[in-house]
Amino acid sequence: MAADLVVPVREGAHNQQLRYALRSWAANLPHRHVWIVGYRPWWAAGARHIPTSQRGNSRYVNTTIAMRAACEHPEVSDPFIWANDDMFVMRAQPSPFPVFHRGPVRELEAHFGPRSTVYLAAMRETRAFLVGLGYEDPISYELHVPLPVEKAAMVKALEVGRGHDAHKRTVYGMLAGIGGTQMADVKVSRRGPQFDARSPFLSTMPDSFAHGQVGKFIRAAFPGRCPYEQARRGR
Confidence check: pLDDT of 233 > 80? no
Record the pTM. 0.95
β-strand partners of 43: none
pLDDT for 56 equals 64
What pLDDT digit, counting tens, does each position of 82-128 carry?
999 999 999 999 999 999 999 999 999 998 888 888 899 999 999 99
Contact 19, 215 (CB under 8 A): no
What pLDDT digit, counting tens, does each position of 195-205 carry?
999 999 999 99
Rounded average pLDDT over 192-219: 97
Instruction: State how far the Cα of 26 lies from the Cα of 9, in Å rounded to an integer.
Output: 18
Q: H helices within the chain, ranges in order?
A: 16-28, 59-72, 105-112, 118-132, 151-160, 168-176, 206-211, 213-221
Q: Is 96 left (phi over 0), alpha (psi -120 to 50) or beta?
A: beta
Confidence check: pLDDT of 235 > 50? no
What is residue 166's DSSP assignment?
A: G
Rounded average pLDDT over 140-162: 98
Confidence check: pLDDT of 149 > 90? yes
